[in-house]
Structure 1
Amino acid sequence: MDQPRRYVAVARKPVDREQDNPDSTSKNTAPARSTVAVDELSKLIIEQLQEDGRRSYAAIGKAVGLSEAAVRQRVQRLLDSGMVQIVAVTDPLQLGFLRQAMIGVKVSGDAQRVADELAEIEEIEYVVVTAGSFDVLVEVVCRDDDQLLEVINRRIRSLDAVTGTETFVYLKLRKQTYAWGTLR
């Protein structure tokens, strides 16, 4: 039996290592954000939000030993820094997106530049530069196979530096979680 899906969670924003590189010319690079110290209380707050992103500041404060106002300030600092974001996690199938896939992309030349170009494609939800058989992995969410074919053939493979792709179509999602906790 499938596990029930969690619809609200706190997800860590992807780390953009480019933002630390002053020589980077990536158009997707966010401006450097202020660094937030993550002490044990902040980690406890993050874990509370990962359990339920709609949990009240008062309830979180009671669980971690802070006032509602102190929790609100800490959460705002975490949001402003980009360390966390509070999002509604949806089930694409229930929203009419019948095809999901992971696509491995082989590149000649600058994989980071290609990753930036791939990140601009609306159907692509996840982009990561990797080491190994593929230079970049992307996750796509599409209405159907026709849209998936369009994304692969006309958008991904049409990029000059892309030398090959391999598509891994999702048959069934067995686990998806954003509650990995924090390092202590």
Structure 2
Amino acid sequence: MANPGAEGIQPVPMRVQTRPGAAVQLDDLSKAIIEKLQQDGRRSYAGIGKAVGLSEAAVRQRVQRMVDAGVMQIVAVTDPMQLGFARQAMIGIRCTGDTTRVAEKLAAIDAVEYVVLTAGSFDVIVEVVCEDDDDLLDLLNTQIRALPGVISTETLVYLKLVKQQYNWGTR
């Protein structure tokens, strides 16, 4: 990517909307910073600054504002299989009552990595990472199905992870 600063892109501060659920407006420089971090989350602020035409301090400040605003997280993504978690699954859950409360209780379970309220066949969908099938069965029986409000579950066991990316951020 050519230096955006050389193409006339002016540093415009990120504007964070105060209305809950409103989209955060990012300028082209903030988007370019995100793209660089998605390529390599350990890239230095100085290196990013050089690539996007900002100082190291300006990049650091923008990154901090985006993290503080909840626009992005900088994390290490692991391969669960290599860490001894041989069973992953997506679980569709049908609920009664306040689905938000059920989702919050599901989010508090350690093995649950992802929680989404949905419209359709399921009220909530969760992604789980377990050590093995016995661990998954225990999770289903003693934690998920035991929650008040859970009517039924449907478990989709992962056989093979073909693609996992986290680079949709600036389209």
Check the 8 A contact 1:102/1:169 in 2, yes or no. yes
Check the 8 A contact 1:105/1:165 in 2, yes or no. yes
Amino acid corresponding to residue 41 of structure 2 in structure 1: G
2:96 is equivalent to residue 112 of structure 1: no
Tell me how large the CA RMSD over aligned residues is.
1.6
Matches within 5 A, 1:20-31: 20=20
% identical aligned pairs: 68
Compared CA separation, residues 75 and 55, structure 1 to 2 (3 A)? same
Amino acid corresponding to residue 90 of structure 2 in structure 1: M
TM-score of the aligned structures, taking structure 1 as reference length: 0.79
Q: Which has the higher contact order (CA 8 A, sep 6+)?
A: 1
Q: 1:66 corresponds to which residue?
A: 54
Gapped regions of structure 2 (runs ≥ 5): 1-18
Give the superposition deviation at 1:53: 0.4
Give the superposition deviation at 1:95: 0.2
Gapped regions of structure 1 (runs ≥ 5): 1-18, 22-34
Give the superposition deviation at 1:39: 1.1
Q: 1:99 corresponds to which residue?
A: 87
Q: Which has the larger radius of gyration?
A: 2
TM-score of the aligned structures, taking structure 2 as reference length: 0.85
Runs of 4+ in structure 1 displaced over 4 angstroms? none
Q: 2:130 corresponds to which residue?
A: 142
| Paired residues, number | 152
Q: 1:29 corresponds to which residue?
A: none
2:153 is equivalent to residue 165 of structure 1: yes
Amino acid corresponding to residue 45 of structure 1 in structure 2: I
Compared CA separation, residues 37 and 180, structure 1 to 2 (3 A)? closer
